[in-house]
Amino acid sequence: MNGVHDMGGMDGFGPVVSEQNEPVFHAAWEGRMYALANFVVGSAGFNIDEHRHAIERIPPARYLASSYYERWLAAIETLLVEHGVVTREELLAKQDASIDPALIANAVSTKGPAPVKEKPGAKAPRARYAKGSRVRARNLNPSGHTRLPRYVRGKAGVVARDWGVFVFPDTNAHHAGTKPQHCYSVSFEARELWGKSASRERLYIDLWEDYLEPLASKSKAKASKRKMAGKAGGR
Amino acid sequence: MSGDHNTDDSGPAARVKALEALLTEKGLIDPAAIDAIVDTYETRVGPRNGARVVAKAWTDLTYRKRLLADATSAVAELGFAGPEGGHLVAVENTDRVHNLVVCTLCSCYPWPVLGLPPVWYKSFAYRSRAVSDPRGVLQDFGLELPRDAEVRVWDSSAEIRYLVIPQRPKGTARMSEDELATIVTRDSMVGVAKVEAPRA
């Protein structure tokens, strides 16, 4: 989904400020939340992709106004309620009366999709690309979870490495199958991404095969141009 | 980073407390296990682990080669493994290449070697600008790179987690592996700082 979480390349957040002697957790509840989320994602059978997607589904204004562990809290409450592990009423019953009930298990705007059982026996496909393959990140705008950020969509890059086969987050987050496929390190020139003739910068990002389409190699592109020119000349 | 923490006990603290009580009641979590996870990340898993890996890579050439070829198993040799560490990759800084790690979509970070990420790594400022203005972000950390150095930004968008091997500073030739491990900082292993030699 084209959410506010997909913030690579956005402006306006100001300088990066580092905290000296920063504690691991800034309050006891942050540590409890961190541990609880890690535990419950396993014990309740949630997967990491749907956990990430539950964070992405927090409405943009609230996402930006929440701290990191507040976003985790909202996501875990949402998943627990959506999966029927707890009910909103049970959560409310445990709460202090001073808490705004609208916050609880209502932290997410869009409802998650109904779980779909994965078909067993899906085999990992062969790699379509190899180191040096020229590729373009596809211009995909799914309404669900994706790990294809907006800032690389439609951009041309080169496969730097094949990391092997991984579960596909776009389907796995929705319990629509693990769709195992190759995931590649793809490198992009800063100029291709940001349009400026910047100093020497290069971005490496890990992209699943379904996010990519092949680009003709430079020599092939030239050859096909010559062919076209030849055809035109022959008329 | 004011605004990124909420220590007010009437808000998220109360909700987390309620959630923990409810899940405990339902037998879905064990408060002792929660205590153990908190303790692990507060006291045992942190950037000291990564510093040991880097110090060994600086002093043991064959280890360095193994680390660059397969970081997951090279890191496991030192006893470090766990969540967010199943697919580790080490990238090496040189005079000509500077590596910087970010996760623009969330906050993916190599927990077994660096612990949990600091607030700045999770901040919107870092996540947004590290990819489009890496040199500007490095300047926020007081790091100015030569113009002809190549900056490589690694956006951790999948399950690969990156560890930067910073350059060993000059003037440390006599230091032992254990001593070197004490000067390797978290920030240098994310790529926003260089390691400085201790002042004589």
pLDDT tens track for A114-167: 444 445 445 668 999 999 999 999 999 999 999 999 999 999 999 999 999 999
Say yes or no for a CB contact (<8 Å) between A17 and B33: no
> CB burial class (10 A; 0-12, 13-18, 19+) of residue B121?
buried
For the stretch A31-44, pLDDT in tens is 999 999 988 887 78
Which of A2, A20, A36 is most worth mutating to test chain B (most B CB atoms within 10 A of its CB)?
A: A36
* Cα–Cα dist A124/A127, whole Å: 9
pLDDT in tens, B122-161: 999 999 999 999 999 999 999 999 988 999 999 999 999 9
Query: How far is B53 from B56, CA to CA, in rounded Å?
Result: 5
Task: Please report the pLDDT score of residue A42 as a whole number.
Answer: 76
Tell the CATH topology of B46-190: Nitrile Hydratase; Chain A (3.90.330)
* ipTM summary value: 0.93
SS3 (DSSP) at A142: coil
Residue B4 has a pLDDT of: 53
How near does any CA of chain A get to the CA of B113, in Å? Answer: 14
Contact A156, A212 (CB under 8 A): no
Average pLDDT score over residue span B70-96 = 95
Positive or negative torsion for Cα A150, A161, A145, B29: negative
C-alpha dist (Å) from residue A145 to A23, A170, A209, B125 = 32, 5, 16, 23
Predicted pLDDT at A92: 80
Domain A114-216 fold is SH3 type barrels. (2.30.30)
What is chain B's percent helix, strand, coil content, to nearest 5? 45, 10, 40
Return the amino acid letter for A45.
Answer: G
Q: Where are the domains of chain A?
A: 28-103, 114-216
Range name among A48-52, A117-121, B107-111 with the lowest pLDDT average: A117-121
**Interval B91-118 mean pLDDT:** 97
- pTM of the entire structure? 0.90
Which residues of chain B are in CATH 3.90.330.10 domains? 46-190
Residue to mutate among A203, A208, A209, with most B CBs inside 10 A, is A203
Q: Which residue in B38, B46, B122 is closest to A35 by CB distance?
A: B38
CA atoms within 13 A on the CB side of B83: 16
Q: Which of A105-109, A117-121, B88-92 tops mean pLDDT?
A: B88-92
Find, among A235, A214, A115, A110, the residue nearest to A173 by Cα. Answer: A115
CB-CB under 8 Å, B187 with A36: no
Question: What is the average pLDDT across B2-23?
Answer: 73
pLDDT of B7 over the 80 cut: no
CATH T-level assignment (fold) for domain A28-103: Cyclin A; domain 1 (1.10.472)
Q: What is the dihedral of CA B167, B71, A188, B155, to 10 degrees?
A: -90
